Every structure is written in C-alpha cells, then in structure tokens.
Amino acid sequence: MKGLTPLLVLLALPAAVPADSSTQDFWNGGPGVPGPVSYWSNSFAGCDSIEYGHPYIVELVISNVFHWIHSTGPGADEMVIVDTDGDGDPDVVGVQATWARVSHWENLDGSGLNWARTIIADSLQSTWSIDAVDMDEDGDWDLVVSTFDGPRWLENTSGGDWIEHEIGALEYIWSIRAGDIDGDGDSDVTCGRSGTDGLILWYENFDGAGGIWIEHQVSDDYNFTYCIRICDLDNDQDSDILIGKGTVSKIVWFENLDGLGGAWQPHLVCDEVHGGYQGFPLFGLEAADMDDDGDNDVLAAASDPYTVTGMVIWVENADGVGETWVKHSIDNNLSGAFSVDCADLDGDGDMDAMACSGGEWGERLVAWYENVTGNALNWHRHELDSSIWWAADVMGYDLDLDGDMDAVYSDGVAGVRWYEFSRATSGWLESSILDPPGGSQEQWTDLSWEATTPAGTGLTFQVRASNDPGDMGEWSAEMAAPGSLAPYLPDPAWYFQYRVNLSTADPPLTPILDKVTVLYDLMGTPGGGESSGPSLRILSGNPSPGAVTLDVYLPEAGQADLRIFDIAGRVVAHPLSGQIEAGHHQLTVTDLPSGCYQAVMITGGCSTEAELVILTR
C-alpha cells in the first residue's frame, strides 16, 4: 500500500512463553467501559474528581463555581480589577459605551460574594476602554478611559470620589493604555483612533502628576486601531506599543527606538489573524510569555460574521527580539471570538489562555484553554459559560484571594460574573478490567508508571485480579512506587484491574499520571502447560505509539500467513507468509498511522485474530 513500508523483525524464541505487557497512556475516551477488554484503549471503567479530557494525562479536576458581581442590567465593555478603595481586596471597574458611564463594583467583604455598585462617571461619550494606574503618584489607583471626545483620566481622591481630567483631543478612540513610555518613572498614555486617518499617539505625563500633557505621534499609517497595549517585545527593557489593526485583523508592534518615545519603528507580527472585515476586526489582544521562554509573545482573537467563524491564536516571538514571529492556533472554531486574556488558571506554572465570544452570530461562550504541555503547542478547551449573550471582556484574577486564579467576565448587556476555580483535593480512576489475548491465566508480575508529583501531592496505585470479572474482589494495599506485584497478587488470574489515587494538600497543584504498564507471564491454559493451538498475541503496548510487536505461536511447524487490515478491510501490512518452525516468534510492524486495525493469522486452516490500536503523538 502506498505510503506504508512496514518493517518486519522475526525472531525464533525458546518454548517458554515470554513476559507480556499492557500499557495505558490515553484516557480521553472517558468512563463507562468496565470490561473485560483485551487491551486498554483510551477509555476506563469510572472515576471521581478526575480530569481526563485531554489525550495524554490524568489529573485532579478543577471545579468552577459561578458567582454574580452585577446581575441586573448591562455589564461592561472592558474592565480593570484593582483595589480602588485601599481596603486590601480587589474591586472591579468597567466602562459601558452605550450608557456613557463608568461603573465601580466594591468587593465589600473581600470574599467576592458581596458587591456594591456606584456610578463614578455618566457623561463620557462612547467609553469603550479602560486601564488603571497611579497617575498622580499619590499611592492610590486612578483610571484612564477612552472616549470619542478624547482620552481622559479619573482621579481617585478618596476611594469613592473621582475627578475627571482631560489628557488630549484625539477623537474616536476605541482602546487606551497607560504605562511609562519615556522611561522617566511616571505613567504616560497611548491610544489610537478607530477611524481611517491612522493616527496612533502617546501623551507624555510632563509634570508626573497628570496635570500637563504633551502629545507625540507614533504613526499615522494604521487606521482602525481597535486594540492597543504597552509592552516590551524586543527585550531591551523599555516600553514598546502593540496594536491590533482593523479591516484585516493585522497585528503590528512599534519599537521604541530611543527608549524615550521619540522615534518609532513598525514591525509586523501577523498579517491576518482572521479574514474579518471593517467593523468586525480584531478586538482581543494581549502580550505575555505564552511558551515560558523568557520573552513576550502575542495572544489574539478575531472573527468574521459573514462566515460565522472566529479563532484564538498566539504568535510566538521566535527570536526574542520581535523580528521573527510564528503563528500558532489555540482554537480555530470560536465564532464571535472577541476578548482574550492569559493567566495560570490551573496552577501548574505555565500560561493558560481565556477567550469569550457572543452577539447575534457568535457562539456566546466563555472558555479557558489549558496549556497542556507547557510549551503552548497543545491546548485543551474548557467551557465555562454558554448562557451569556455578549461576552465583551474576560480576565484572570484571584478575586477571592484564596491563592488561585479565577475567571472574571462581563456580558455587555447582562451583568458581570465570575467563576471561582477550585482544584479537587483527592480523586481516583479505575481502569477497564483487562483480559489479555492468549487464552490463558496470567501471573501478574510488575506495575510501573510515569507521573509528575509536585511537593504536597501524592499518587498511588491499587490492584486486584480474579478469575471472575463479575467479582474482582477487594483492592490491594496502596503502592507508592512502581515495582513487583508479588506482595499484592501472588496467584495467577485471568483478569486484572488497576485503580490510581490522586491527592493534593496544596491546591491548585496536582499530581499528573502520564502512563501505566502492567507486566505479566502467560501461564498456559487452565491446568497448566502451553496452549494447544496456534495463538497470536500483542507484546507491545496496546494502544501502541506507532510500532506494534506481535507474538506468533505454532505448536508444530507449518505454513502461516499474517496480514493487518484497517477498518475499511484493506490490507495495510503483510508481515508474515511462509513456513515457520514450531514455537514462539516475535515480529514488529512499524510506520502504521494512528487508527484501529485487525491482525489475522491463518495457519493449518485455522484463523486467529487480534485487535490493534495505533496512537501516534
């Protein structure tokens, strides 16, 4: 068959039956398969408080508890989370463009369960964007907001009273951010026009107190700037500017050449996140170290209502200085993708992603994406809320101050909400009952596993074996380390089952199971001795990661023909045909793509079969 070049290795073995094994390293098929099964696939019997949805690992589940911040009326188009009143807990401030106002939600007791709302501004035209900064350096949090009349900042005078100050006259601003652009230690402001003249400006906080502002131009060539961020993308320790351009969802960053904001050089990050059109461009943009290599990458979301599609991506800062960028997909199927953020939501030390979507044509969803392997190349989607109408903004923040991250998000037309993340402290998973091919009892000899157990977490195994799959008996004592099964299963038995127990004393940390393997020796047919007829058994793990090793047994010399069929009934490998000696023979077939196969051996007018599963990572 074209593209398949199976490699055959045939070894004549002594008459003794070789040690066999069965491996499980996929669980994403879920529970509900008690067995018996001839091999472990990607399913299992049952579990409690276990996350198994991504292909390669088992870990303690993260539960999500829903809470309201504001349940009546519109939420916010964009939010910031800071301690505005200085009482030691985080509050939420949001802008609402349609209602021309800025709302403040006070976290009354620090639990995140009791909130009081006040309106701190109600006459700002089209307030789409907000950021928080200590603008006047008086030790409390102030706010900067975009309006269609120009950038403004709101002075926090007492934690409850606010004074509006004008920054500049640039009209039709959609996005605004504050940061130290000229390196003088105080906070400046940058913003871009949402229209067609392409203006991107930054405003120098000349007196350091927000009283005197000087306007500087960054560019006049990038129209429809719907997202703007301040970050260091070339690792030279000054503030650069990152923008999301409209019409074709292009991402560009401007290098702060002199570190003072006096000269700027544009660099392309991504030519097109998504084929959107004017009016529905890129709205979600953040900079963060997504792959944990020490430099800032870019996270973005964009969508197209004409095709009812949307996507979440991250763009790798491949050379660390913002010259070479590589685009990676997180989710290619999030229609109406609107806002993004990133945080370590599962507490495993790497950066996860968040996104939301909504509107008349969007998916109306808030989701977070687990960075499964830590290098941002494998993502697992977790859906938080599908009841939202217009998910306008999403953020990761420890809102209840319990040491783990939570998800805070806003429905532009129906309130502000948050999900409390909480890792289970214990859980278990029980495998399907294993009955290996070969038609004999097994002496279960060893159990090994590969796992990660951070300090404060634990992972143990229990086992049981029986000649009756309906009565497997009691679980053994717990095994804390891989090793011999002799103290736990001294007698041969037909059937085998494992149970893995996970625990943590330090949520959100969790133990992680990658692989488990049981070794066994075939004991022959009941009553002892070798099997009386030909047999075909799988010696490698099943599922197998790309190569499968088979044991062929003939009680006497003769002709044998072995073929491997795919699920369509086509022969994809023909590793054995001809005269072979009596006894056991091993052969290995490689280069089979992922899939389900049937191995069929015909000898002496008899047919022997074995089911194979290939799962290549």
The C-alpha atoms of residue 202 and residue 239 are separated, in whole angstroms, by 12
Q: Residue 15's pLDDT is what?
A: 35
pTM, two decimal places? 0.75
What is the average pLDDT across 246-272?
90
State pLDDT tens for residues 197-249. Answer: 778 999 999 999 999 999 999 998 887 888 899 999 999 999 999 998 766 67
Q: Residue 98's pLDDT is what?
A: 82
Query: Amino acid identity of 508?
Result: P
**First and final CA of the chain: distance in angstroms?**
23
pLDDT cut 90: percent of the chain above it: 52
Asked if 92 and 105 count as a contact pair (C-beta separation under 8 A), the reply is: yes
What is the average pLDDT across 584-610?
83
Q: Residue 306's pLDDT is what?
A: 63
617 band by pLDDT with thresholds 50, 70 and 90: low
175 vs 2, more confident: 175
Does residue 454 have a cis peptide bond before it, meaning omega lies within 30 degrees of 0? no
Alpha helices for 343-412 (secondary structure H)? none
Residue spans of the domains in the chain: they are 19-27+39-61+426-468+481-522, 535-614
Least confident range from 142-151, 205-214, 268-277, 361-370: namely 268-277
**Statement: residue 252 has pLDDT above 70:** yes
What is the enclosing helix (H) or strand (E) of 396?
A: strand 391-397
State pLDDT tens for residues 438-485. Answer: 666 789 999 999 999 999 999 999 999 999 999 999 999 999 999 999
Q: What angle do CA 437, 451, 35 make, to 5 degrees?
A: 30
* Domain topology for 19-27+39-61+426-468+481-522: Jelly Rolls (2.60.120)
**Statement: residue 568 has pLDDT above 60:** yes
171: Cα separation from own chain's centroid:
39
What residues contact residue 89 under an 8 Å CB cut-off, 6+ apart? 83, 107, 109, 110, 401
The C-alpha atoms of residue 237 and residue 250 are separated, in whole angstroms, by 25
Polymer length in residues for the chain: 617
Alpha helices for 348-408 (secondary structure H)? none
Q: Which DSSP state fits 279?
A: T
- Mean of the per-residue pLDDT values of the chain: 86
Backbone angles phi, psi at 88, to 5 degrees: 95, -5
Report the b/e string of 396-417 with b at 16+ CB within 10 A: bbbbbeeebbbbbbbbbbbbbb
State pLDDT tens for residues 581-595. Answer: 888 888 888 888 888
305 band by pLDDT with thresholds 50, 70 and 90: low
Q: Residue 200's pLDDT is what?
A: 93
What is the average pLDDT across 7-17?
36
Query: Amino acid identity of 558?
Result: G
CATH number for the domain formed by residue range(s) 535-614: 2.60.40.1930
28 band by pLDDT with thresholds 50, 70 and 90: confident
**Statement: residue 134 has pLDDT above 80:** yes
